[in-house]
Chains A and B, each alone.
Chain A
Amino acid sequence: MSKDRVQNEQNDQSEINLGDLFLIAKKYIVLLIAVTLVAAVLVYAFTALFIKPTYSASSKIYIVASSGVLQISDLTISSNVAQDYIDLINDKVVLQAVIDDMNLPYTVSQLRSMVSATNTSGTHMLVITVKGHDSKEVADIANCIADMTINTVPDKMQVHAPTLISGAEENKSKIAPSNTRNALIGGLIALALTYGILVLRYFLDDSIRSAADVERYGNLHILGEISDLRETSKAYGKYGHYGRYGHYGQYGHYGEIKKESGDSSSHQGKGA
């Protein structure tokens, strides 16, 4: 008999019942849903109210052939050449010029972080994209950069100037942050955390939770179960006769807390 108990002792350390994991979720489903929703709403509100929206605008320029006469080699523009242009756009030369021209409150590196120039390989197009918190400003900057590039290229790179294909237009709809996406992420994180805590609590809980536990950990034959009176009888409910706040309850008229009765001798005293 005691050998069985030693066995059980080792067992309950290592057992994590998958079924229990599901049942925990099922039991606390209301809490889990509530937490997710509340977190999502809070994150949505926070994002909408406190996070500055980011806008984007793009201008497009065309990289022209190296000399007036079209040559075979010009037809296939290597990515290196496009990279040159991209480097130029990111260079202090262009960016400083833009800052000076527009009187921007940014440093070169700050502006550089807002700008990205890209070329789709196989094309001669260079797309200049600017991201920032002001929709008008980013459009203006994109256009200014395009202009500055067009002006700088012939001088610095000794080739024909690129041409402007399309100027940037102000786009009033933000590209970030996404309120819904953040809300979703917030909700999911809250859900995962809550569930994790519930699972941890359940498995760390060492108390006897059922007759099955008693049978298992005590190796005992179960003679029967007596339901909690608080569930089955109003008299033992919280405010009932025997309940916590009731007449004979813990806080009640004759209750344990109210009456100083820790010493049972006060009752047995009559017996002397």
Chain B
Amino acid sequence: MRKVTFTKWDEAGYTLQEDVNTVVTNIKFSGSDIKSICVTSSNENEGKSFVCMELARAFARDGKKVILVDADLRKSRIEWHYGMEGGEGLQGLSHYLVNITNNLDDIVVETNITNMYLILAGQTVVNPPSLFGSQIFKDLITQLEEAYDLVIVDCPPICAVVDAAVISTITSGTIVVASQGGSSRKDLRYTMQQLDNVNATVIGAIVNKVRRSGSLTGYSKYGKYGKYGKYGRYGQYGQYGHTDAPNQNASSEADKK
């Protein structure tokens, strides 16, 4: 298996790590049978790819064998955003789906992040939805689900193209990324309608680019200390939360790790 190195990807800052960890925990609590996740958003630039990468990294750090599949065949940004060394001549998802290659080893690469694997998008393709509806793709996902602990599929935005809706019927769960100010209520409703129409299993939403100064109150129910946040009443360590607070019960901390 080939290996690539991300050249422009620094260690996540403390806040980001905390935020992502919260998401990871909530995903875990959504169901243990989630082996593949379709990640989409309403519009472009909501930070979907960013979220996918960070989630993959976080799960990988957790000891899970994760594979990130870049399914944005029309506009893939991973290489450009994160910089890649060792990816010359590498084939991607599109090559596999049109049968230029049918060898998984040709497209799956190891990365410099332990436990994190990657399938690039490959050459830009004109009509992806039909490719994603094909048996080749379904089989691919099934194979990946068997070989890896978690498959994260980075899909295009739903308001732009319908690819993600198709993909969401194949993965065991779907996550919608919504960024503050990145989409309108109408867009979000449209997105959910599309997902509803195909009966996708939507695990939930990740809200990205949250600025405290942007909101009116600067304080969110889901923020760290808000009602549902990590330390809030119903949050992970809260009174009614999932686990006991760290200083009260050291063993559950160890279990979590």
Tell whether, in the assembled complex, residue B211 and residue A231 are in contact, meaning their CB atoms are under 8 Å apart. yes
Encoded as 1 (CB less than 8 Å from any B CB) or 0, chain A from 112 to 147 comes to: 000000000000000000000000000000000000
Residues in chain A near residue B210, CB distance under 8 A: 210-211, 225-228
Task: Please tell me if B255 contacts chain A, counting CB pairs below 8 Å.
Answer: no
Encoded as 1 (CB less than 8 Å from any A CB) or 0, chain B from 26 to 60 comes to: 11001000000000000000010001001000000
Q: Contacts A212-B221, A232-B15, A268-B122 given: A220-B204 contact, CB under 8 Å?
A: yes
Residues in chain B near residue A73, CB distance under 8 A: none
Could you tell me the distance in whole angstroms from the C-beta of A184 to the nearest C-beta in chain B?
Answer: 29
Task: Please tell me if A270 contacts chain B, counting CB pairs below 8 Å.
Answer: yes
Tell whether, in the assembled complex, residue B180 and residue A210 are in contact, meaning their CB atoms are under 8 Å apart. yes
Tell whether, in the assembled complex, residue B188 and residue A264 are in contact, meaning their CB atoms are under 8 Å apart. no
Tell whether, in the assembled complex, residue A221 and residue B16 are in contact, meaning their CB atoms are under 8 Å apart. no
Q: Contacts A226-B47, A271-B92 given: A235-B220 contact, CB under 8 Å?
A: no
Could you tell me the distance in whole angstroms from the C-beta of B62 to the nearest C-beta in chain A?
Answer: 15
Could you tell me the distance in whole angstroms from the C-beta of A222 to the nearest C-beta in chain B?
Answer: 5
Could you tell me the distance in whole angstroms from the C-beta of A265 to the nearest C-beta in chain B?
Answer: 4
| Chain B binder among A1-9, A64-72, A74-82, A166-174 | A1-9
Q: Which of A18-40 touch B at CB < 8 Å? A: 20, 23-24, 26-27
Tell whether, in the assembled complex, residue A226 and residue B20 are in contact, meaning their CB atoms are under 8 Å apart. yes
Task: Please tell me if B22 contacts chain A, counting CB pairs below 8 Å.
Answer: yes
Task: Please tell me if A14 contacts chain B, counting CB pairs below 8 Å.
Answer: no
Give the residue name and chain of the B residue nearest to A24 (CB): B216
Interface residues on A, range: 35 or more
Could you tell me the distance in whole angstroms from the C-beta of B81 to the nearest C-beta in chain A?
Answer: 8
Tell whether, in the assembled complex, residue A223 and residue B26 are in contact, meaning their CB atoms are under 8 Å apart. yes
Tell whether, in the assembled complex, residue B178 and residue A226 are in contact, meaning their CB atoms are under 8 Å apart. no
Q: Contacts A210-B220, A265-B123 given: A222-B204 contact, CB under 8 Å?
A: yes
Residues in chain A near residue B248, CB distance under 8 A: none
Give the residue name and chain of the A residue nearest to B79 (CB): A267
A250 to B111, CA, bound (A): 26
Could you tell me the distance in whole angstroms from the C-beta of A254 to the nearest C-beta in chain B?
Answer: 8
Task: Please tell me if A219 contacts chain B, counting CB pairs below 8 Å.
Answer: yes
Residues in chain B near residue A224, CB distance under 8 A: 19-20, 22-23, 26, 206-207, 222
Tell whether, in the assembled complex, residue B15 and residue A227 are in contact, meaning their CB atoms are under 8 Å apart. yes
Q: Which of B202-241 touch A at CB < 8 Å? A: 202-217, 220-223, 228
Residues of chain A whose beta carbon lies under 8 Å from any beta carbon of chain B: 1-2, 5, 8-9, 12, 20, 23-24, 26-27, 206-215, 217-233, 235, 241, 248, 261, 263-265, 267-272
The 10 A-B pairs with the shortest beta carbon distances in the complex, nearest first, are: A224-B23, A221-B204, A220-B205, A23-B216, A232-B15, A206-B184, A223-B204, A265-B124, A217-B185, A224-B22
New A-B contacts (5) at CB < 8 Å, excluding given A27-B216, A222-B228: A220-B192, A225-B208, A225-B220, A226-B20, A227-B212
Ordered by A's residue number, 12 sampled pairs between the chains whose C-beta atoms are within 8 Å are A5-B189, A208-B181, A208-B184, A208-B188, A209-B180, A210-B207, A215-B205, A225-B208, A233-B15, A261-B80, A269-B123, A270-B90
